[in-house]
Amino acid sequence: MKRTHIKRTQMKRFNKKGQIEYLLQNAFRIGFTIIALLAFFIMINFYINNKIDTRYVQAEVLANRIIQSDALMLQDPGTFRIYTGIVDMEKFNDKTSLDTSIKYEFNRHATAKVKISKKDVYGNIQYFDDIYLNKNNWDNLKTLINSGATGKGSASMIIKDFPVTCAYDKELNVFDYCIMTVEVIVPNS
């Protein structure tokens, strides 16, 4: 009985009617498999980041490096302790402080500008000075941002204000409260 059934099925597959019937029976299965596979790959693709946008993190890390490190902040010469939030104006006035303490080996990297200002009670802002990290890149990238250029050839910028103490000597005898504005530009890549 079983043998005859197999034979019949096999025979059916070889004639025209059998072939169509066989195709109809399996068409849904084939279609379903294709849809399921496609859906699976699309779903997986949603959770794979082929392009990771690190510009914002890079800008934040650089800004934090400037405000936390001894590049501009006051450092006790005896204990080497860094007083974050207290700007050493001697370092600030030496225009190479940022470039000598934060070094990158390749040219196309983030750039920064740090400004010191003070707002009086009448609301007038008085700018003292500024210092750059990688000034050549700053000039190039800032021009691109000002021109409104977007895309891979251009750059993005963050601006942050921090209230700090400006120390004019290491012993903190002469100081003033001021605002440190950190502007970081990272190239769009």
Partner 1 sequence: MINRKISRNKKGEDMLVDFWSILLFVLILILFLVLFIFTKDDAKSNELSQRFVSTDFNYMLNAYIKSPSLSDSSKTNGEVIIEDSLNNDFSKTKYSFEKFFLGVNTTDNNPIGKFNMVIAESKIMKTSFNVDPISEGYTLDKLYTGKAIMTTYAKTTIPNRYGNDIEVILTIEYVMMNEKPFK
Binding site for partner 1 (CB under 8 A): 17, 20-21, 24-25, 28-29, 31-32, 35-36, 39, 42-43, 46-47, 49, 52-57, 59-60, 64, 67-68, 83-86, 117-119, 121, 123, 125, 150, 156-165, 172-173, 175, 177, 179, 181, 188
How far apart are CB 46 and partner 1 at their closest, in Å? 4
How far apart are CB 113 and partner 1 at their closest, in Å? 14
Kindly list the strands in the beta sheet with 73-75, ordered across the sheet, starting from the edge strand earlier in the chain: 73-75, 82-88, 155-167, 175-187, 111-119, 125-133
Angle of helix 2-14 relative to helix 16-46, nearest 10 degrees, comes to 80
How far apart are CB 79 and partner 1 at their closest, in Å? 15
Could you count the other beta carbons within 10 Å of the beta carbon of residue 67? 19
- CB-nearer residue toward partner 1: 100 or 129: 129
Q: Are 86 and 167 in contact (CB under 8 A)?
A: yes
